[in-house]
Amino acid sequence: METQPVALLVQAAGTILLFIVLLLLYRKFRRPAFLDWIASWGFFLIGLGLLWSVRTASPANEPRLIPIFALNVAMLAHVFFLIRGIRRFRDERSPSRPVDMLWALPILAVAWLLAMPFAPPASVTLVRAAAYLYTAFAFVRAPGSPAGRVLLSASFFLWAAERAFVAWGELRFGHAPALGELYAYAHFFEMFLEMTVAVGIILLLFEASQAELKREMERLVESDSQAREMGIRDRLTGLYNRHYFNDVIRRELARSRRHGGAISVLLVDVDRFKEINDVRGHQIGDEVLQFVANYLTACVRESDLVFRWGGDEFLVLLTQADEAAAAQKAEELARRLPLIPGAEHLQPTLSVGWATHRPKAEFPRTLAEADSRMYEMKLSRKKEREARERGPVRL
């Protein structure tokens, strides 16, 4: 068997392998560009089969219009889908439209003209060389792994140089097989380049897949954080909930025992809240709770924590705060509450009780002390309000 047919068989085997690689990559990544590249190398494989029939059926210089026309169609379609795949790989938003099927008309027309006896013998070869040169530069700017881009660019650049050499043989001798063994070696070289193209595409996508995996892991971590945050937050006010307080207080008490420092708590109750709900409605009541939550958060330090304790009650955990600081903060919070929009004529006030945790004491006793002070202030506020509503006592 001659060297040229063997070389064509070897190149066809390499093309089939590249075709399978592209199918597997499309199955994995589902990128539109791979559909174009699958079509491109499918047409290239058809072109190799037609080239086999042309080279083995009769002498190379005998004119055969239909086989050469079909060969030109296959190779021009290979070039078209290769370039379109590059464009879609760089911009996945590029849509596929029915009008794109019109590509077949100019390809058929050009293929017919280049199959005519008057056409230069190297026309299709030069078109392929130009397409491979364009592809080499296009992959330089493609997204993905630098190693993959370098390998793909180098492969297509060498392929363009090889096609230019074959075109030179066609222009000088009238047909490329006149180059002898060099022409056969060109097919072996193209098979090698197809293998490097396959490796380059895999490398190109490896970094992209790693980046996608990293983004997916970040989304999972963010989703897990959001789920955890929802479990420790009150949905209405956005404050930490009472369940989370149990975890926090154990940590803060352990820290206080190790490093010293006082821990104080404030229990805050919204006065007249039931009346607001009954008269103004639950929507206004919810807005009042949200306003108070924002107010408390804005009035404490970043190291302090505010919790929704239940209903219209809130708890403020003051870290590194002694009795004097706790009493001052309680008085400040009760005195400075601004007017709340939507609660006209029923403006609530805050009753705030405070307590500082004593070493070796049970923490529930600290909470009970703060609750007692809050209840005392609440009763005092209620008596004052009732006295104002009754008016001055007449003698």
pLDDT in tens, 310-342: 889 999 999 888 999 999 999 999 998 888 887
Q: Lowest-pLDDT range, 90-104, 153-167, 374-388? A: 90-104
User: Looking at the predicted structure, is the pLDDT value of residue 172 above 70?
Assistant: yes
**3-state class (DSSP) for residue 347:** coil
| DSSP 8-state code for residue 233 | B
Whether the CB-CB separation of 296 and 306 falls below 8 Å is answered with yes
| 208: Cβ contacts below 8 Å, ≥ 6 apart | 29, 143, 144, 145
Element (H, E) at 264: strand 263-270
Give the pLDDT score at 94.
61
Give the pLDDT score at 61.
46
pLDDT tens digits for range 41-70: 899 999 888 888 777 665 544 556 777 888
CA distance readout (Å), 311 to 165, 249, 299: 85, 21, 21
| 380: Cβ contacts below 8 Å, ≥ 6 apart | none
Give the pLDDT score at 174.
67
Give the pLDDT score at 333.
93
What CA–CA distance (Å, rounded) separates 184 from 129?
18
Give the pLDDT score at 331.
93
Give the pLDDT score at 377.
92
What CA–CA distance (Å, rounded) separates 383 from 381?
6
Give the pLDDT score at 392.
60
pTM of the entire predicted model: 0.54
**Exposed/middle/buried for residue 11 (C-beta within 10 Å: 0-12, 13-18, 19+):** buried
pLDDT tens digits for range 5-47: 777 788 888 889 888 988 888 887 778 888 888 998 899 999 8
**3-state class (DSSP) for residue 315:** strand
Q: Lowest-pLDDT range, 140-154, 239-253, 356-370? A: 140-154
Report the share of the chain in percent with pLDDT over 70: 84
For helices 104-115 and 65-90, the axis angle rounded to 10 degrees is 140
Whether the CB-CB separation of 164 and 115 falls below 8 Å is answered with no
- Classify strands 350-356 and 313-319 as parallel, antiparallel or unpaired: unpaired
Q: In what order do the strands lie in the sheet with 313-319?
A: 305-310, 313-319, 263-270, 350-356
Report the share of the chain in percent with pLDDT over 90: 21
What average pLDDT does range 281-305 have in this prediction? 92
Count of C-beta atoms within a 10 Å radius of residue 198:
21
Per-position DSSP letters for 265-293, written without gaps between them: EEEEEETTHHHHHHHH-HHHHHHHHHHHH
Give the pLDDT score at 353.
94
